[in-house]
Each structure stands twice: as structure tokens, then as C-alpha cells.
């Protein structure tokens, strides 16, 4: 195994990450904010004061009070409870879609880079086509085709994310595949799969994590945007973007219905961006050494 000096890369990356994390207050702040959001989402069933889909027509559009900390919406549903449950949708759609896109994209990217030739042309050609359509428009079209629900929304975002990861994975694969340790592995009769999974993947993992957290930020924003346009999940499921859209109807009299969920979107996206930024500083060797 000593033939593979990069095999311990993962552990070292983690150690470096923690070290730079310590130097970088922004990334800590991101992590803390994120953990806060995640715990709100996880604990939603226990800490929500009300059933998020329970309507109370007589109490609708009531301002913030002791009973309803953030007031109620146009159906008399508790806004705080809807925000807490909405956190689950935002975070899970954001994370799962990026993980899906990352998995598919990375495999395709490594494959394209490692196999080269027509594999490369075919895969990257398809990826280029998908990349040519802006994320929001792609999401818009896909959801419009498949119909707005949680699964389709996730797939739509994953589809737009996958090509970015294919690109990220391909370039380092090309540069690594001709290095000595990979050549040696091949000479020892290791299968392509083993080389790709065991030795190329760990080397690009750091960058994948950075891009992953930055793309989750984007995914959360896209989910909110699509929900705002009305291509989100089914009613009465609460989503932040959908809440803003519904609140927009009463923006003149009750602007807070739209403003509160927006603040939560902002914090969540910000948290992922801060985290990604901090991690990038940790992993990018050029920045680390200066």
C-alpha cells in the first residue's frame, strides 16, 4: 500500500480542514448556523406549537402574539410551525438533490476522465448540453413536465447539478490517471473500478465536499425559487418559497408572512455558503500555503 502515497489523503484533508476551520471564523459561523437549522428541522415534530397544515379560518392573518409567535397565514395556519416543517423540505430537497447529482455526476466525470476517447466525448457532450441550459430554466422545465411534487423537484435539481460535478471530477481524474501510483496499480492488475473508486475518488473528495456544500446553497435557493413560481411541492405541504408566494397576496397588509420564511431561506443558504467558503480555503492548496 505504500505504493500509494495519496491513499491517506482523506485523513489528512480532514485534519487540514479542522485546522483551517479553526482559523476561519466564517466557516465556524456557517457550521453553527447550519447545525441550528438542521436541529430545527429534525425537531420540528416536537417543537412546532401547532399542526402545520391545520386550518383555522377564524384566526387567519392574525399578527404575532403569544399563541402564534409569528402570526398566522391566510388559512389561519401557524406560521412558525410551517417554517419549522418547511425547514425539513428545504434541507432535504437541497441535500438529497445535490447528493444525487453529485453521485451521478462524479461517477460519469471519473468515467469520462479515466476512460477518455469516445467515453469522454459522449459523456461530456451530454453534460455540456445540460449545462447549456441555466439551472433555473432547466428546473422550471423539468418540474413543469414531471409535475410539481417533492420527488420531481429533487430530480429536477439533481439533473442540473450533476453536470457540474462531472466537470469537477473529470479534470483531476485526467491528471491523476497518468501518475505513477495509478500506473503501478494498473500494472499490479487492479481493476479499473478499484483504481477509480479506491485511488482517484479519495483525491477529489475534498473538492467534491466544497462544491457540494456550495451547490446545496444553490439548490436550496432554486427549490425556494421554484416553489415561489408555483412549481414546488403539493399543498398543504409547507415550503419556504411557497409561503413567500402565498404571503405575497397580502404583502400590503401583512408583509411579515412573506418576510419571515425569507429570513430562514437566507440564513440556510448563507450557512451553506459560509461553510463551503471556509472548506474551500481549507482545501485549496494555493490559498492554504499563502
Partner 1 sequence: MSKRIGLVSVFLAAIAVSSLLFVSPSFAEVVLKIGTLSNDANQLDPHVSTKSQDKILFPWVFNGLVRFAPGSADLSKIEADLAESWKSSADGLTWTFRLRKGVQFHSGYGELTADDVVFSLNRASKKETSTAYKGYADFASVSAPDKYTVKIVLTKPIPSLLGMVTNYHGGYIVSKKAVEKLGDNFKTNPIGTGPFAFSEYQSKRQVTLVANKDYFRGAPKIDKIIYRYLPDEASRELAFKNGELDLIYGTREQRWVERIRKDKGVKVDIIGLGELRTLHMNITKGPLKDIRVRQAISHAVNRDEMVAFVGQDVAQRSISVVPLGYLGNTSDVPLYKHDLAKAKALLKEAGYPDGVTLKVIITKVASLRVPMEILQAQLRKAGIILDLEVVEHSAFHKLIRQDASPLVLYGAARFPVADSYLTQFYLSDSTVGTPTAITNFSHCDAADAEITAARSEADQTKQLALWKTAQQKVLTQTCSVPIFEQLIVWARTTKLDYGFEMKNSLSNGPILNEMTTLK
Partner 2 sequence: MLKYVLKRLAMAIPILIAVLTLVFVIIRIVPGDPAMVVLGDQASAEALAALRTKMGLDVPLIQQYFTFLFGAFRGDLGASLLSGRPVLSEVMTVLPYTIDLTIAGVVIGIVFGVPLGVLTAVYRNSVTDYIIRVFSLFGLSFPAFYSAILLILIFSIQFNLFPVISDPDLSNYGERMNHLVLPAVNLGLIMVAYITRSTRSSMLEVLREDYVRTAKAKGVPRFVVITRHALKNALIPIVTVIGLYLGVLIGNSVLTEIVFNRPGLGKLILDALSERDYTLLQGVMVIYAFIIVIVNLITDLTYGFVDPRVKHQ
Residues lying near partner 1 in the complex (CB under 8 A): 53-55, 57-58, 60-61, 74-75, 144, 147-149, 230, 234-236, 248-253
Residue 255, binding choice from partner 2, partner 1, none, Cβ under 5 to 8 Å by partner class? partner 2
Our CB check for partner 1 shows the closer of 37 and 233 to be 233
Residues of the shown chain interacting with partner 2 in the complex, contacts defined by CB under 8 A: 26, 125-126, 128-130, 132-137, 140-142, 144-145, 147, 217, 221-222, 224-225, 228-229, 241, 244, 248, 251-252, 255, 258-259, 262, 265-266, 269-270, 273-274, 277, 286-287, 290
Cβ neighbours, 10 Å, residue 168: 21
Cβ neighbours, 10 Å, residue 140: 18
Residue 54, binding choice from partner 1, partner 2, none, Cβ under 5 to 8 Å by partner class? partner 1
> Closest distance between partner 1 and the C-beta of residue 252, in Å?
6
DSSP string, 123-154: HHHHHHHHHHS-HHHHHHHHHHHH-SSHHHHH
Residue 73, binding choice from partner 1, partner 2, none, Cβ under 5 to 8 Å by partner class? none
Q: C-alpha angle 84/21/211, rounded to 5°? A: 65
Q: C-alpha angle 205/224/33, rounded to 5°? A: 55
Residue 148, binding choice from partner 1, partner 2, none, Cβ under 5 to 8 Å by partner class? partner 1
Our CB check for partner 1 shows the closer of 261 and 278 to be 261
CA nearest 228: which of 162, 164, 160, 153? 153
Q: CA-to-CA distance for 263 and 174, rounded, in angstroms?
A: 42
CA nearest 155: which of 210, 207, 110, 99? 99
Amino acid at each position: 500500500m505504500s505504493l500509494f502515497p495519496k491513499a491517506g489523503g482523506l485523513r489528512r484533508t480532514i485534519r487540514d480542514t479542522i485546522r483551517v476551520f479553526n482559523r476561519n471564523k466564517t466557516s465556524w459561523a456557517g457550521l453553527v448556523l447550519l447545525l441550528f437549522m438542521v436541529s430545527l428541522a429534525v425537531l420540528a415534530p416536537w417543537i412546532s406549537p401547532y399542526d402545520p397544515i391545520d386550518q383555522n379560518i377564524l384566526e387567519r392573518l392574525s399578527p404575532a402574539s403569544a399563541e402564534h409567535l409569528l402570526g398566522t397565514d391566510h388559512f389561519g395556519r401557524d406560521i412558525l410551525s410551517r417554517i419549522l416543517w418547511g425547514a425539513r423540505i428545504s434541507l432535504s430537497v437541497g441535500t438529497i438533490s445535490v447528493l444525487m447529482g453529485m453521485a451521478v455526476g462524479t461517477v460519469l466525470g471519473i468515467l469520462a476522465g479515466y476512460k477518455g476517447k469516445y467515453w469522454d466525448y459522449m459523456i461530456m457532450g451530454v453534460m455540456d448540453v445540460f449545462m447549456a441550459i441555466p439551472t433555473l430554466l432547466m428546473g422550471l422545465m423539468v418540474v413543469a413536465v414531471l409535475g410539481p411534487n417533492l420527488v420531481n423537484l429533487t430530480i429536477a435539481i439533481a439533473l442540473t447539478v450533476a453536470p457540474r460535478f462531472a466537470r469537477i471530477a473529470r479534470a483531476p481524474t485526467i491528471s491523476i490517471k497518468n501518475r505513477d501510483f495509478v500506473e503501478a496499480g494498473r500494472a499490479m492488475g487492479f481493476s479499473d473500478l478499484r483504481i477509480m473508486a479506491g485511488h482517484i475518488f479519495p483525491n477529489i473528495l475534498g473538492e467534491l465536499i466544497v462544491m457540494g456544500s456550495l451547490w446545496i446553497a444553490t439548490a436550496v435557493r432554486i427549490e425556494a425559487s421554484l416553489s415561489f413560481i408555483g412549481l414546488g411541492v403539493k399543498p398543504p405541504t409547507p415550503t419556504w418559497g411557497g409561503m413567500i408566494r402565498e404571503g405575497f397576496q397580502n404583502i400590503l397588509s401583512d408583509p411579515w408572512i412573506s418576510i419571515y420564511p425569507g429570513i430562514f431561506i437566507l440564513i440556510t443558504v448563507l450557512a451553506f455558503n459560509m461553510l463551503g467558503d471556509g472548506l474551500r480555503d481549507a482545501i485549496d492548496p494555493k490559498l492554504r500555503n499563502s
